[in-house]
Structure 1
């Protein structure tokens, strides 16, 4: 399959782990990497240049992965202003161009670990892309009937990056969508001890990736907080659901999902009760063993 990866590579470094994992996966053709923006005021990068900074971080990881051949472009630094006006960024244009290629029959998966600005803009620029790709998105709060973590705030981090873009993708578009909401992506939990031993001790790439994760613990410490002994590799399901599909009758067969009517998104980033549009996949169980063991093995062999 072809994979186009769109993530906030200047944000939570779990996206850089996902990028390295995809780069080391021989079953995917990693065609393009898009660095998308963070929300204004985000503590990871409040410079207004998070997409540009993330592109540099992504290029560094690809170089360490031996994949300097993969094209990296920066998306827009802005949120959508409304639901009908796309932002013509290098990222959105690259997504349209890849989806509309006529020289390959390989299926295209657009994997997204942050906001949905680039996908929404790409669809607004060329609605026909919805017939030519599958979007796999890490984001969105728990669906009805699934309890939220204690003390959690309104909406969800990735959805809040650009609520208007989420409304375009969920409410307006007909894009085939596999969603990994918060209750699912939080399942990919690794201890910092195992990460230090099985990632940090595995060459320059592993050392670099672990340092970015460990740096978050240091950053939180400056605010008087401790992240404890674990880290959520929340973007790793993007690899699990694409590169690690079953060999025969290809599908993420070790994971489970529900087919639901796509909910509408309100202006606060919450699902509108009772709304149901086109059918989408919502993953509720992930094969975390396969995901993290494959990551560690590929780092070690590399």
Structure 2
């Protein structure tokens, strides 16, 4: 597995990272710290990918992990065009892992932010497209499957980070995509009571995760949003759809999806159907019970293990 996320942004990616790191069946080969869009409220400066890497090093240290060689920085800049890759250490790591010939296990590329570095990698080495499955949290709702939420961003948050990269992946590449669009990742709500009692109560790591979400809710309150007793951990389906597949006839069997030809993404974030395009999965429902209960219990187990003499 390669993990790619904008770790300087919404802390839901930290929950996803920790959950994946605590999942024993997952062989994580690289963790990419990727960029946010310019002017993003979480990190408005030009160095958000660099900041993401610093946060990754901090999280590894909090978990006692020494394998920081897995961390790779993505580009701090979006694609300039759909045909020009942005070189980065992350691009090199993605290509190197995808082109290995000494493993038989399937390679999943799980992305919870923009797609700059994946697009750059496939533009640099198109052969990686046949060697991985991309699980992406992002993109607008599909007509006939869901409607946008009230006052929705016209172009979904993760797609607008690098619209050209999204087009390079959907429109121009042969990558196999499993998409978790906005209407589905918005299903991934946890209550503040759950965060207090099932996350914050599980030692220093859990308290840190909880404090990161509280900082966001407090900031939102100053901007006239809320109050709310829930928080969306929208990146967590990356764990559910990979680490928590079924044993027999292995698949993401507890969640629901539709198969459709991969549509083209237009400049306004909408889709244009392409009946002859390669197939993709669009998830319509995710198993939040399994996903969150597994995360709560793994954090509890980890805290118990740390306290052993």
1:153 aligned partner: 153
CA offset digits 1:215-262 (Å, max 9, x no partner): 101221232332511000100000000000011221111011000111
SS in 2 for 1:293: helix
2:21 aligned partner: 23
Q: 1:1-302 maps to which residues of 2 (within 5 A)?
A: 3-70=1-68, 71-145=70-144, 146-272=146-272, 274-276=273-275, 277-302=277-302
C-alpha distance in structure 1 between counterparts of 2:18 and 2:154, whole Å: 31
The offset of 1:182, in angstroms, is: 0.7
- Matched positions, count: 299
CA contact (8 A) 1:9 1:57 kept: yes
CA contact (8 A) 1:23 1:62 kept: no
The offset of 1:275, in angstroms, is: 3.4
The offset of 1:89, in angstroms, is: 0.7
CA offset digits 1:164-200 (Å, max 9, x no partner): 0001000000001100001111111100111011001
How has the CA–CA distance of structure 1 residues 227 and 108 changed in structure 2, closer, same or farther, with 3 Å as cutoff?
farther
Gaps of 5+ in 1: none
C-alpha distance in structure 2 between counterparts of 1:66 and 1:247, whole Å: 30
CA offset digits 1:102-150 (Å, max 9, x no partner): 2222211000000010110000000000111110000001101122212
Using the size of structure 1 for normalisation, the TM-score is 0.96
C-alpha distance in structure 2 between counterparts of 1:30 and 1:214, whole Å: 29
Gaps of 5+ in 2: 303-309
2:307 aligned partner: none
Q: Cα RMSD over matched residues?
A: 1.1
SS in 1 for 2:109: strand
The offset of 1:153, in angstroms, is: 2.6
The offset of 1:101, in angstroms, is: 1.2
C-alpha distance in structure 2 between counterparts of 1:62 and 1:293, whole Å: 23
CA contact (8 A) 1:83 1:168 kept: yes
The offset of 1:83, in angstroms, is: 0.9
